[in-house]
Amino acid sequence: MKKVDLFIIRSYVGPLLLTFFIALFILLMQFLWLYVDDLVGKGLEWHVLLRLLFYASSTFVPMALPLAILLSSLMTFGNLGEHYELVALKASGISLRRIMKPLIILSIFISSLAFLFSNYVLPVANLKFRSLLYDVQQKKLAFKVKEGIFNKDLGDYTLRIGGRAEDGETIYDVMIYDHSGRNGNTKVSVAESGTMKQSRSGDAIEFTLFNGYNYEEKTDQKNYRINRPFQTTQFAEEKIRFTIDNGLNRTDENLFKHSYHMMDLNQLTKSKDSLNKLLERRKTDFGQNLIRKYKNYHRVDSLKLNKQISSDTLLVSEYTSILFDLHVLDRDKVIENALKRTRNIKESVVHMGEEEINRGNTIRKHDIAYHKKFTLSIACLILFFVGAPLGAIIRKGGLGLPVVMSTLFFIAYHILTMTGERAVKAGSMNLWVGVWMASAIFLPIGIFLTLKATSDAPLFDADTYKKLFEKAFNRKKPNSIQQ
């Protein structure tokens, strides 16, 4: 490797790593902001939070990596142009295309790694992240008792305390409802004071109550609703122990594996084929069941029945209703029955239409997930060809103008991507057009900027545009009148 190539790579790798981790950190902070209510106050252990943040960071790579490549390439060539290093390299006979060559090779290598990550690592990260996040969301809040508020964190028991001493253990005006019998508020314990301590293992809460009563309605006796038997027990001291679950109950990860987020290319292909076959079989079965269930309805046509209704054998019409043979009350029953069957047919057809739409949406989501395995690597390569020549043209490094320019380009790319994917999911746009729309738009932009940068075109030179403007709108002054 030549020294020039090594110098270019060193200038590029530093900003790439820096911008990648900054983008990853920003996305991770956004995740914490969205799910802060599900994480705070549940007594989660540090390693659970650390695993959750690690899995979440892994799922943000498809968004952080293209942004980092765009920003770092723009910063690298902007710094080289600002410090006249790019000018010195060109003056020594090295073209911009030759300067970009090592970074192009590196970008192709990164794009290949991005594809491998998207196909093999990302499904596993999504599985771990979504299953762990689900378990964290289902976990109850840590046991905390507030004065004057009924607390239901003890499972089948509800606790209320009127006050608490400064030592944090002594409590006053205690009331505990026992709902373990599923009979309502039939058992309650009240006490003037007591103590509340957590066991050494942390899996139980121990209450010691003083000077109280136990009240219980005997609902298990005969004639309970008539006699209303009631039992009262006084105690000077009573101990109650409640077991609490501070751990995290993990759900079987196999329950989440059927989502398209957790599949690689082979799994997506098999799952899509199975869904298509299931949809076609469902349509066939529905049509056959509908015909078999209602095929006898056409045998009797109520509009084509010749009926003699007068003594002089006069036929009123060839088209007479069969309901004329029935009593008035029977007619209403027949009409109501016909309407009921018609509604059932309509509901079945509507339900089948909704099912077909939902299954079609699921199949399209599988198609989008399949193509996104490739769009990530292609996006990394295309955004490099946008950022590198753009940095060589504007010749500004640092975190000022490059950040603004790269942010605008990335927002445009992200909006186009999201718009296309949503249109494909809704079925209003072709799959290839929607998924590849952003890449198809940014590819000509990258080619255009690369051509302009290699030809040293003053694309962002204000003086050039000022001269063009003056030349276009400057009118010729009238010649002076000759005497």
pLDDT one-digit tens code per residue, 72-112: 998 888 888 888 888 888 888 888 888 889 999 999 999 99
Average pLDDT over residues 151-175: 83
Instruction: Give how far the C-alpha of residue 268 lies from the chain's centroid of Cα atoms, to the nearest Å.
Output: 18
Is the Cβ–Cβ distance between 262 and 126 less than 8 Å? Answer: yes
What is the structure's pLDDT at 289?
77
Residue 243 Cα distances to 183, 202, 353, angstroms: 21, 9, 50
pLDDT in tens, 206-265: 888 999 998 888 766 666 666 667 788 888 888 888 776 666 777 778 888 888 888 999
What is the structure's pLDDT at 294?
67
180 vs 441: which has the higher pLDDT = 441
The mean pLDDT value of the chain amounts to 81
Which ranges of 60-150 does DSSP label H, i.e. alpha helix?
Answer: 61-82, 85-91, 96-116, 122-138
- Report the range of poorest mean pLDDT among 100-109, 249-258, 303-312, 446-455: 303-312
| Closest alpha carbon to 385 in 444, 320, 333, 328 | 444
pLDDT category of residue 425 using cuts at 50, 70 and 90: confident
What is the structure's pLDDT at 419?
92
Hey, what amino acid is at 139? K
What is the structure's pLDDT at 110?
94
Hey, what amino acid is at 85? E
pLDDT category of residue 368 using cuts at 50, 70 and 90: very high
Residue 95 Cα distances to 9, 65, 91, 453, angstroms: 16, 28, 9, 10
pLDDT at 417 over 50: yes
Residue 347 Cα distances to 278, 284, 337, 435, angstroms: 21, 18, 15, 35
- Report the range of poorest mean pLDDT among 229-243, 375-389, 409-423: 229-243
β-pair partners for 194? 171, 209
SS3 154: coil
Which residue's structure tokens are 């239901």? 152
pLDDT category of residue 464 using cuts at 50, 70 and 90: low
CB burial class (10 A; 0-12, 13-18, 19+) of residue 330?
Answer: exposed
Average pLDDT over residues 172-200: 84
Portion of the chain with pLDDT greater than 70, in percent: 81
Which segment, 146-150, 226-230, 305-309, is predicted with the most confidence on average?
A: 146-150
Which ranges of 395-461 does DSSP label H, i.e. alpha helix?
Answer: 401-426, 431-435, 437-454
Average pLDDT over residues 40-64: 86
pLDDT category of residue 399 using cuts at 50, 70 and 90: low
pLDDT category of residue 61 using cuts at 50, 70 and 90: very high
What is the structure's pLDDT at 327?
66
253 vs 124: which has the higher pLDDT = 124
| Closest alpha carbon to 11 in 75, 67, 70 | 75
Is the Cβ–Cβ distance between 336 and 358 less than 8 Å? Answer: no
Instruction: Give how far the C-alpha of residue 342 lies from the chain's centroid of Cα atoms, to the nearest Å.
Output: 40
Residue 171 Cα distances to 178, 188, 193, 235, 271, angstroms: 19, 17, 6, 17, 59
